[in-house]
């Protein structure tokens, strides 16, 4: 029986032990890499990330752009700014644009739809991904009708008690899940995920995250280490661990052989070769920053975020070299999920 088959049969207890087992990191990575190569070869997909607003009406305790952070220097990109980022990205070979922002009511549904349809009109062969938080099903439907085909919304943690320790009472896990199932029903390719090592998180919490994802069956799964931000209520909690994050990436690859799993900027932030290690552990997506250099430092979800000083072209070139060095190859196709 292959390890992949075994892990699918693991009990919660067995999974929790594996998650905590430092000595398992390397072997897990090897198994995960076999599975990724069987399904996706050595291909790594790129998504151009455009961080278009750091205003947010929410107050998540871990996040640097939470509304309560008076020190955050707020910005919004104009439609023209966003389209210029796409132009630049397109020229560099990007065929997916991810529009990410805080939950910023300034961008009404009408404005979001306008931006999405303008991008789709200008770049019909590109995929548009939205990552703009919790909305009503009607709003999600409107964005979909305007041409958005993918949506990223991490569930952050799948246990209600833990969820409430990370978020104020104005937010709930129930609504988060409602959003994710609405998005699926509408027909989006859906991405979810969580942070590894967030305050109060246990191995049992992480098992619940895996079980929730098995229920949701997302197309994309984004995870990264929790990283401390000084201007949040969690300033005194330590950042998450590199190796535990790598084990989680590998376990995800084994449980979700077809998933699109990014090797995240947060991984690259806690270790100079974090993204390379994330690819070797089972990741198959990278998301270079396409935001204008002038705003990059301001989209500070956590401290010391990498790639805040580079131009898009530099970021693209740098990542390409890193991906190659890790033994993979960047492909510029849209990179839709290879289905189940
Ligand atoms: N450390 C790591 N990841 C964070 N995110 C937000 N704040 C932090 C932090 N301090 C992640 C959340 C969110 C994604 C956009 O960034 O998981 O969904
Ligand atoms: Fe942005 Fe390396 S990926 S500078």
- Provide the CATH number for the domain around residue 259: 3.20.20.70
Determine if ligand 2 sits within 6 Å of the CB of residue 313. no
Whether the CB of 311 sits within 6 Å of ligand 2: no
Closest by Cα among 207, 322, 193 to 261:
193
Residue 1: its pLDDT value, please?
84
User: Pocket residues for ligand 1 (CB within 6 Å)?
Assistant: 62-63, 154, 156, 195, 224, 226-227, 229, 266, 301-302
- Gap between the Cα atoms of 316 and 261, Å rounded: 18
Which ligand neighbours the alpha carbon of 287 most closely?
2
Query: Of 305, 261, 229, which is closest to residue 61 (Cα–Cα)?
Result: 229
Would residue 15 count as lying in a domain?
no
For residue 312, the model assigns a pLDDT of 84
Res 19 pLDDT > 70 = yes
pLDDT at residue number 336: 87
Q: What is the pLDDT of residue 340?
A: 58
Domain presence at residue 31? yes
Which numbered atom of ligand 2 lies nearest the CA of 289? Answer: 1
Is position 47 within any domain? yes
- Say yes or no to pLDDT of 236 above 70: yes
The mean pLDDT value for 52-66 works out to 98
Measured from the Cβ of residue 39, the count of other Cβ atoms closer than 10 Å reads 14
Whether the pLDDT of residue 335 is over 90: the answer is no
| pLDDT of 94 over the 70 cut | yes
Q: Is the CB of 312 under 6 A from ligand 2?
A: no
Q: What is the mean pLDDT of residues 66-80?
A: 98
In the predicted structure, residue 313 carries a pLDDT above the cut 70: yes
pLDDT at residue 275 above 80?
Answer: yes
CB of 203 closer than 6 angstroms to any ligand 2 atom: no
Residue 159 lies in a domain: yes
pLDDT of residue 207: 98
Per the structure, the complete domain to which residue 136 belongs is given by: 23-331
CA 49/CA 150 separation, integer angstroms: 13
Mean pLDDT of the chain: 97
Which structure tokens are listed for 55? 């205003």
Average of pLDDT values for 252-265?
98
CA distances from 81 to 52, 84, 201, 294 (A): 9, 5, 38, 11
303 C-alpha to ligand 2 centroid (Å): 16
pLDDT at 53: 98
Pick from 228, 231, 226: which is nearest to 264 by CA? 226
Total tally of structural domains belonging to the chain? 1
Distance between Cα 113 and ligand 2 center (Å): 30
Q: 239 with 196: CB under 8 angstroms?
A: no
Looking at the chain, the whole-number percentage of residues with pLDDT higher than 90 is 94
| Cα–Cα separations (whole angstroms), residue 102 to 55, 60, 130, 248 | 5, 11, 11, 26
| Ligand 2 neighbourhood includes 319 CB (under 6 angstroms) | yes
Q: Which of 306, 312, 321, 324 to mutate to test the pocket of ligand 2 (most atoms within 8 A of CB)?
A: 306
- Flag whether 2 is in a domain: no
pLDDT tens across 137-171, in order?
999 999 999 999 999 999 999 999 999 999 999 99
Check if 293 has its Cβ closer than 6 Å to any atom of ligand 2: no
Rounded to the nearest angstrom, the distance between the alpha carbon of 246 and the centre of ligand 2 is 20
Ligand 1 center to residue 245 CA distance, Å?
A: 14
Q: Are 120 and 72 in contact (CB under 8 A)?
A: no
Q: What is the length of the chain?
A: 340
Taking the centre of ligand 2 as the mean of its atom positions, its distance from the CA of residue 289, in whole angstroms, is 8
Does some domain include residue 17?
Answer: no
């Amino acid at each position: 029986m292959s390890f992949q088959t075994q892990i699918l049969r693991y009990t919660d207890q067995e999974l929790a032990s594996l998650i905590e087992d430092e000595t398992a990191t390397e072997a897990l990575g090897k198994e995960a890499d076999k599975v990724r190569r069987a399904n996706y070869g050595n291909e790594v997909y790129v998504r151009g990330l455009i961080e278009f607003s750091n205003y947010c009406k929410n107050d998540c305790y871990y996040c640097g752009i939470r509304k309560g952070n008076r020190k955050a220097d707020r910005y919004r990109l104009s439609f023209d700014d966003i389209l210029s980022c796409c132009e630049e990205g397109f020229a560099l070979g990007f065929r997916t644009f991810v529009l990410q922002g805080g939950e910023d009511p300034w961008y009404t549904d009408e404005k979001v739809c306008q931006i999405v349809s303008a991008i789709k009109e200008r770049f019909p062969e590109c995929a548009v991904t939205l990552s703009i938080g919790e909305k009503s099903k009607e709003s999600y439907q409107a964005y979909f009708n305007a041409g958005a085909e993918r949506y990223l919304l991490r569930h952050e943690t799948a246990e209600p008690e833990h969820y409430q320790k990370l978020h104020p009472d104005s937010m709930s896990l129930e609504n988060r899940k409602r959003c994710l199932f609405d998005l699926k029903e509408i027909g989006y390719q859906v991405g979810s995920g969580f942070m590894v090592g967030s305050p109060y998180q246990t191995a049992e919490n992480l098992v619940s995250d895996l079980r929730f994802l098995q229920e949701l069956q997302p197309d994309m799964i984004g995870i990264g280490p929790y990283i401390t931000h000084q201007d949040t209520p969690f300033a005194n909690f330590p950042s998450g661990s590199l190796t535990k994050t790598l084990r989680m990436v590998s376990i995800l690859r084994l449980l979700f052989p077809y998933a699109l799993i990014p090797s995240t900027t947060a991984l690259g932030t806690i270790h100079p070769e974090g993204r390379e290690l994330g690819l070797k552990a089972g990741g198959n997506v990278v998301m270079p920053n396409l935001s204008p250099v002038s705003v990059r430092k301001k989209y500070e979800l956590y401290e010391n975020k990498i790639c805040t000083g580079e131009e898009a072209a530099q970021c693209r070139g740098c990542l390409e070299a890193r991906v190659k060095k890790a033994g993979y190859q960047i492909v510029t196709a849209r990179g839709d999920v290879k289905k189940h």
